[in-house]
Amino acid sequence: MESKALVPRDPGNLEGTHWILVATHDSDPVPASTPFTLDIEKSIASGTGPCNRFHLSFTHAGNDVTTGPVASTQIACPSAPAAAEHAFFVALERVDTAEKEDTQDQLVLSGPHDTRLVFDRADRSADHLIGTWDIVNYASANVLTTPIKGTKPALDFAADHRLTIETGCNVGTSTWAANGRSLTITHPRSTLKACPTPGVGEQESSIFAALPSVSTVDLARVDAVLLAADGSALFVLEPHA
């Protein structure tokens, strides 16, 4: 059976929408370790990458888009995410077309030089976090960091609003509350065993310290990005397999 072709359509009103980048070019997937969010409001597109927050002017009439230069914070980060971030900023400045595709609620921004950015809609309510999520990245010293090899940190959002936190060493407990995209997490308590693996104690401290700063969530079909009040990314999560 032939697959049904994607049928582009007018993006409609993008005001107040939230998105997570899932693919670039023809179909290159975006690793969860280099997340990019996009929020469109009042003719401004803004969001966060793996290192920096950004904004640029963004206006559209039907499928036609006009963007301005990207302005961003200047936080240093490792070379791979820094390169991915630079490529994303360059692509945003080249965008001249917006469309949606019929088979999924995706936004496709395209332009010259084979520019193509595919986003999943990410404005699901934080209530949909119920379940267990693996921590793909967590914020440490203002930069998203990958968990130490061999550890499997995770967050378990229970339906009764208890939160269980696996750090790779100790287990923490907290509570969580959702209101639309807003998400509040209380200061966690934890067991107090020593963490013998080098770096795991610091990983644990960073995870526990970041959780009470969570303010909102960009929640798409698969990935979730927990954000601070200033829009910076604190956690990147994937559903536990």
Q: What is the pLDDT of residues 90-107, one digit of tens each?
A: 999 999 999 987 555 899
DSSP 140-174: ETTEEEPPPTT---EEEE-TTSEEEEE-SSSEEEE
Q: Hey, where are the domains in the chain?
A: 8-121, 126-239
Using one digit for the tens of pLDDT, what is the confidence trace for 41-93?
999 999 999 999 999 999 999 899 999 999 999 998 889 899 999 999 999 99
Average pLDDT over residues 17-28: 87
Q: What is the pLDDT of residue 4?
A: 47
Q: Are domains 8-121 and 126-239 of this chain identical in fold?
A: yes
pLDDT at 7: 52
Q: How far is CA 100 from CA 26, 43, 104, 136, in A?
A: 15, 19, 8, 28
- Averaged confidence pLDDT in the chain: 92
| pLDDT above 60 for 225 | yes
Is residue 26 scored above 90 in pLDDT? no
Beta-bridge mates of residue 40: 17, 45
pTM value is 0.88
pLDDT band at 143 (very low <50, low <70, confident <90, very high): confident
Structure tokens at 19: 């998105």
CB atoms within 10 A of CB 66: 12
Segment 120-142 shows an average pLDDT of 94
Q: What does CATH list as the number for 8-121?
A: 2.40.128.270
pLDDT cut 70: percent of the chain above it: 95
Tell me, what's the pLDDT at 41?
A: 94
Report residue 30's pLDDT band, with 50, 70 and 90 as the boundaries: confident
List, in order, residues 6 or more apart from 192 with CB less than 8 Å away. Answer: 170
Give the per-residue pLDDT at 74: 92
Residue 219 pLDDT grade (very low, low, confident, very high; cuts 50, 70, 90): very high
The domain 126-239: what is its CATH number? 2.40.128.270
Higher pLDDT, 105 or 145: 145
* Whole-number Å distance between alpha carbons of 12 and 209: 40
Residue 5 has pLDDT above 80, yes or no: no
